[in-house]
Structure 1
């Protein structure tokens, strides 16, 4: 039997430099570094080795893999971002172009939040500001669609679940042939499979990769916006919510905090919370890498 070589993964940073540095100043890491650590850890949990590279397509003059370089990866994942595709800024549009290159390379492709939006736009979909407003903190009552029942992206999920989330935009029009696999009342496309060119993308509008500490750090940056939009009455209430999130991260057994925040046991369990990422690694990335090794 041929020994499995280490998986080679690529994380695509969705933020330009200034945004990711602001994020790191509060959270301690850029989104891409955090995502890379999560992927490495999930691979290790499955007794796999993985090397994870990071690229920065939003940066001017970024040296990006293409063609055979992209095809040499076993999987590509796009992080969240503070950008908005409907603004059509250069930093956004270059990421759409890069996503098309990933599709062309035929590499297993995943994205959280912004990643789903970029992959949808690259395949001919449309992203707009959600008229229902921002979904932030915990996305509630996400349910698997009829088309999503039995889809491997959600293998192991209950029919209805909650998940960490933060977004104000949504995929308003799915690309041709896309399968919407999960939805909720606030956002019609909570998860989808998109086939385009040579590639297959699995993505979610929520953030399966987040820890509660990471979510708390992001909410601390978003506190002024959340106050303006009426999520909190004042800064003290916001600080209390964030303190609870961090406390829950340190001790998931804090029943009092979980009850106060309305966080279900399934959301507290990191393995369940990261279901879609684990399924992508084990059901998309690993089989494709094994087939390439045999070939």
Structure 2
């Protein structure tokens, strides 16, 4: 039986990827691909870079050869348009025609939404960053396989300025919170069924720490911290969580629990995507 083939779509430009590395992080697609290989041992995880000029992107015929597609976050704003965004929308529309399961994180949700005919806007409530609070499943979400074994109300790693304003036709809202109505959705487009979330189940604490370093001092100006010293202390706590995720004092300080702290629970949406969507669809397509 051939190994499952997965494709990670990098949402960032080369410049944005380099900037994240500069602040101690990594390209979003590299971390995503590593996690997919970990959750699906033996899987092949390729990466494509549609925001890069001249990138050699698969067409629908090439996309047909994959068993699942995952889309990373991005620092882009989809309503600004331009070549890096147009290329990603075109790639998504080609992917919809293949029947290959698709998963999107943050920008991934927004990209799928726009490519399928929905609307994304700048969130009038501002940025949601750090830990998305009290994300709660809808009735549909509680019965959805993406959330199997996930607590019905949970916190999650998050960082976004934009949100889905209008889901495309044929969508189902799966989770919400007080900051953004659409925190998770199933979107049916073309022949494909997409599962997508506004938060980042794929992020480890160290990547979030790098994002906070990259965004500083903007987060002070936006009122998340009193000053850069307070922000630096928070970044230090994120890095401490990476080394010692079971630290009860830090968990109490930030009001988070196993849904964020436990890697197995934090990443369960992606595991469920593989086990309950990718592999069954692969078998149905005669590839398993």
- TM-score (norm: length of structure 1): 0.95
2:97 to 91, 104, 113: 104
The question of 1:143 aligning with 2:136 is answered yes
The Cα shift of 1:90 comes to 2.0
1:230 to 223, 226, 233: 223
The question of 1:280 aligning with 2:273 is answered yes
Q: Distance in 2 between matches of 1:188 and 1:89?
A: 27
> Partner of 1:31 in structure 2?
28
Q: Distance in 1 between matches of 2:195 and 2:179?
A: 20
> Partner of 2:13 in structure 1?
16
The Cα shift of 1:28 comes to 4.2
The Cα shift of 1:251 comes to 0.7
Counting only pairs closer than 5 Å after superposition, residues 37-56 of structure 1 correspond to structure 2 as 37-44=34-41, 49-56=42-49
- Partner SS, residue 107 of structure 1: coil
Q: Distance in 2 between matches of 1:96 and 1:180?
A: 21
The Cα shift of 1:261 comes to 2.1
Gaps of 5+ in 2: none
> Partner of 1:262 in structure 2?
255
Change (3 A) 1:87 1:144: same
The question of 1:292 aligning with 2:260 is answered no
Q: Distance in 1 between matches of 2:207 and 2:80?
A: 26
- Partner SS, residue 97 of structure 2: helix
The question of 1:134 aligning with 2:127 is answered yes
1:184 to 177, 192, 195: 177
- Partner SS, residue 141 of structure 2: coil
Q: Deviations over 1:198-250 (max 9, x none)?
A: 11100000000011111111111112210110000111100000100110111
2:245 to 252, 272, 278: 252
- Partner SS, residue 95 of structure 1: helix
Q: Deviations over 1:140-194 (max 9, x none)?
A: 1000012222011111112111100000100001001100100000000000000
- Partner SS, residue 105 of structure 1: coil
The question of 1:174 aligning with 2:171 is answered no
Q: Is the Cα contact below 8 Å between 2:11 and 2:107 reproduced in 1?
A: yes
Count the aligned residue pairs: 288
Q: Distance in 2 between matches of 1:290 and 1:27?
A: 40
Question: RMSD value over aligned CA atoms?
Answer: 1.2
